[in-house]
Structure 1
């Protein structure tokens, strides 16, 4: 029987897994992988790592805004003894962007980050709320950086949900945006606290689905634009209670998780996974794919010749094409929280910029959380 990794190892695996997913996935965001399921292209890329590390003039794979913002979240949590402080986090986001603006930030989030840099700003959530005529962004920027929040949730699911939502609201005020961060945080948190000998992928997915149904405010799958939001608000006031329950059943994340549960039983081709669960920059069309990548890759994948489930998760996530760096980063965070740091090849860590910082941040967060437990 294989022993579960230690909690410290899982903390490390989570943050480093997010970094390597980001760094390895980033080159393919521009070039693509030739369509979902193109495993050979991704495998050929990582097979060159040994040569590139030892070769003359070798350079690290650079991280993107995914890691830059996740580092801000971790540093803020460390500075505030594991507590989420929105104003502190907002300042760190703004400062990080101003110091290193060329990390691949999207245009829309840049406008928010610039406003967060205004020292006279009293409401740090206001810039995000004003976007898209008040509809807010439903991109995956809140989900891509939320892993450190999940590490600080201890055994309190409600705390994970609230802090994930709050951290996302600084830039993504649309419910599909912040609920994506909630789902990603729940997946990381659940992976962190699941023993390897008790893992059941279908039960893991069903538990996420039940939690999203019971504890997370929902949104209809066609809500996303400002006009849709306004129409939905007016319509909701006229709905009967039966109709309101239908809205809850139609929540887009529950739909994705229901499809995910079905996929774990049917094992569809990567093309279908990308089509149904999504591979774009919107949270509701990417977080589910990250969760599925982790769960599917607990077992071998035909055509993906990798023995390690951790490595397989990263490569599979990238092979879904689309927003490769963010999906791989989110999948890497979940997988790392389950498999631990030992599952991430040393050559991957050496080649990926920021892995060393992720290790240090993971250790600091681990010390904060374990100290908090002993003091209670």
Structure 2
């Protein structure tokens, strides 16, 4: 089993180690988004040849890469998409308001879209933004609620941006509540909201996992299951009977009054029970797939999906991330996807100057390559998977050669540092 260069005691990370993991999360999401965007839309309903993905990722990030004709290839800065744009906006909003403020965040999302509409925003969220600009809009949740005949969007857009919530919220209850509320600004369907809660929980769990011990995949899966079983998390002091309150799926959630009403709105949605059952079933499937080292991309795509639905993209991302973290615990062994003499290693945990030894490669690279190879919504799947693994492995998992090709690398680091500084201020550590 590979060991990290630094060993920590206890379940909490401390000092510069925590800062490294905050940076790893933000940079992992940025890297997955920028690199995955190159493949988005070209492989709907099918997987991508893994070797081809690895080769292209290398060409995109390696200053010594050669073209097929043997010519040197100039590096191109890879632009981020709406995934990162909205994650940056969410991080800034949390910092500037010292917490979640729905109206401020909603208008910030809309203003950022207006300033840079070419980031690949989906059509349905653009409609939400346009309605938020209307003077008559007094309820910032209503535009999302009204979509699709009142059923709301089940897409992955709320999950793709949610990582800053996991960095901002130390308390589990607050984490699930804020993940839910920020999701409902653009996605009012239980599927889209539950996906955001699950992704936030995965990042939060990995951020605080003890790197002095082998990563416990089973414990992570159990925490994800717990989050789904209590979804949506009721705010402190909520009435015990609020899950069966009289609010209907046709009522505007915010006008009913705060977090309790938002949660109640979700439980009264016609898709609520089916969503919870689907997520629990997929967690079972995820566990089975992770237990088999020979699981291949085709099986993952068929069983979990790779599309724009939160219940597909989020599970594909979590599989890609936990697969890598599981492999860190194990001796190298053959699989259907890579030879027996290779396994991922946190960059900086082996070899000199943070470089993996022969036959090894970084956990972040492995995660992003695998996530992209699943096809479908590649930028979002790789973005979410990168954020999860980055929260565990830290910024050392980002190859130095990636820095000049990832747009706004410095912005991701700056936001991570500000979020970490806030955490240190609230919880001083020796």
TM band (smaller chain): 0.7 to 0.9
- Shift of residue 342, structure 1, vs aligned partner: 0.8
Aligned length: 348
1:342 to 366, 389, 396: 396
The aligned counterpart of 1:86 is 102
CA distance in 2, matches of 1:319, 1:330: 14
Aligned to 2:183: 168
CA deviations over 1:133-181 (Å, ceiling 9, x no partner): 1000000000000000111111x11111000011110000000011100
CA RMSD across the alignment: 2.5
Residue 262 in 1 paired to residue 262 in 2? no
Deviation readout 1:62-121 (Å, 9 max, x if unpaired):
11111111111011011112x011111111101100000011111111100111223552
Contact 1:20 1:349 (8 Å CA) reproduced = no
Checking the alignment, whether the CA contact within 8 Å between 2:48 and 2:372 is kept in structure 1 is no
- Counterpart for residue 411 of structure 2: 357
Which structure shows the bigger proportion of residues in helix conformation?
1
Aligned to 1:159: 174
For residues 14-33 of structure 1, what are the structure 2 equivalents within 5 Å? Answer: 14-32=25-43
The 5 Å alignment of 1:46-57 reads 46-48=57-59, 49-51=61-63
Inter-partner Cα distance in structure 1 for 2:19 and 2:137? 38
Q: Which moved further from structure 2: 299-308 or 23-32?
A: 299-308
CA distance in 1, matches of 2:273, 2:132: 34
Could you tell me how far apart the structure 1 residues matched to 2:38 and 2:48 are? 17
Residue 127 (1) aligns with residue 154 (2): no
Structure 1: state its 5+ residue gaps: 218-228, 231-245
- SS of the equivalent of 1:286 reads helix
Alpha-carbon distance in 2 for matches of 1:119, 1:348: 43
Structure exhibiting the larger radius of gyration computed from Cα positions: 2
User: Which SS does the other structure have where 2:173 is aligned?
Assistant: helix
Contact 1:35 1:319 in 2 (8 A): no
Query: Which stretch of the first structure deviates more once superposed, 363-372 or 159-168?
Result: 363-372
> Which of 268, 288, 291 is matched with 2:318 structurally?
291
**2:288 matches 1:271:** no
TM-score (norm 1): 0.86
Post-superposition CA distance 1:302-348 (Å, at most 9, x none): 53466222211111111100000000000011010010001111112
